[in-house]
């Protein structure tokens, strides 16, 4: 059951894809939410502004424009607002972007995560920090017909993004041991859906198909991803939030669909949803990419009853309807 009380929940990255969806669901179930975001221009700021407009229309939502690397600002906000639970989703995303912009990841992912840890440990009666990790920590692991499990070694990251996410898990482990407050790290697997990120493949393919442009298919189409619909992701996040681990624990959980889909199958499904056949340019795999992802979600299921419900065909149809409503049949500027 929802663990509602009078203390607000802090959501970092509230104008982002997952942060927007989580904040809306929290508002719908009667929680007070403080959202923070630095509203950077990594992708279309107009999309972030539209998400934020949705949230500002909710009762009980308050927004503070803030960079999570501002440790003093985050600590003061948490203390002054009486925050006892945090859902930390803000980070510099993108495997490929980390190749050319490494210091953005140092600031947002490492320094930013440390800011939230410090704010949590100093907060009065603090109860639970839930934070975003990533399936990228598993490295380029052969899929082998079974899902990736949380107990596997994760010592071979192939991108700086993955390395920062694993570093955040280790930082949280040390803070849980030192200071006792419960933490849950969620390893996300390829989240998609309405209000999504324009740098994701399905989003970029949609823009190009509607513009009559060819699409570049990396890994020559041989990659597979555990595409997970946004509503299912939110179910898992809030299920974990409402069930904190014991004190001094840093619990790690996979959160995915557990039904990996090949890249070419995803493209065919998207073509059917749009009614457009793509002109495909096959490219080799890019540095930092992994061949496949596949989540074993048995631990999250046992804890919360988590059961992904939205199949890729339905999820992409919902995304296409949203896209056409938001942008029309033209690509965003």
Task: Supply the residues annotated as catalytic.
Answer: 161
Distance CA 87, CA 12 (A): 7
| CA atoms within 13 Å, Cβ hemisphere of 39 | 15
Residue pair 74/115 in contact by the 8 Å Cβ criterion: yes
φ, ψ of residue 81 to 5 degrees: the values are: -95, -5
Residues 128, 89, 140: CA angle, nearest 5 degrees: 110
CA quadruple 81, 23, 233, 15: dihedral sign: negative
Distance CA 263, CA 222 (A): 7
φ, ψ of residue 226 to 5 degrees: the values are: -90, 75
Paired sense of beta strands 9-12 and 85-88, if any: parallel
Quote the distance between the C-alpha of residue 145 and its chain's center: 25
């Amino acid at each position: 059951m929802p663990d509602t009380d009078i203390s607000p929940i802090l959501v970092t990255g509230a104008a982002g894809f997952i942060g927007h969806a989580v904040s809306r669901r929290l508002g719908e179930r009667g929680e007070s939410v403080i959202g923070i975001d630095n509203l950077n221009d990594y992708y279309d700021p107009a999309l972030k502004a539209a998400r934020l407009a949705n949230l500002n229309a909710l009762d009980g939502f308050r927004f503070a424009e803030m960079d999570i690397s501002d440790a003093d600002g985050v600590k003061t906000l948490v203390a002054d607002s009486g925050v006892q639970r945090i859902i930390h989703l803000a980070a510099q995303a993108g495997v490929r972007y980390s190749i050319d912009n490494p210091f953005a990841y140092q600031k947002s992912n490492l320094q930013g995560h440390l800011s939230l840890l410090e704010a949590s440990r100093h907060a009065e009666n603090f109860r639970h920090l839930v934070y975003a990790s990533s399936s990228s920590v598993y490295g380029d692991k052969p899929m082998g017909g079974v899902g990736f499990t949380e107990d596997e070694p994760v010592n071979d990251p192939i991108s700086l993004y993955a390395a920062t996410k694993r570093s955040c898990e280790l930082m949280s482990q040390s803070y849980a041991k030192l200071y006792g407050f419960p933490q849950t790290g969620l390893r996300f697997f390829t989240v998609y859906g309405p209000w999504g990120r324009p740098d994701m493949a399905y989003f970029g393919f949609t823009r190009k198909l509607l513009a009559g442009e060819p699409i570049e298919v990396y890994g020559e189409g041989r990659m597979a991803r555990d595409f997970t619909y946004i509503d299912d992701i939110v179910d898992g996040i809030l299920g974990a939030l409402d069930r904190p681990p014991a004190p001094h624990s840093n619990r790690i959980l996979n959160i995915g669909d557990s039904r990996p889909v090949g890249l070419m199958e995803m493209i065919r499904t998207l073509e059917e949803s749009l009614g457009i056949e793509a002109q495909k340019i096959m490219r080799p795999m890019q540095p930092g990419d992994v061949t496949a992802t596949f989540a074993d979600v048995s631990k999250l299921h046992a804890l919360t009853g988590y059961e992904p419900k939205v199949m890729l065909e339905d999820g992409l149809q919902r995304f296409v309807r949203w896209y056409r409503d938001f942008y029309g049949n033209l690509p965003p500027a």
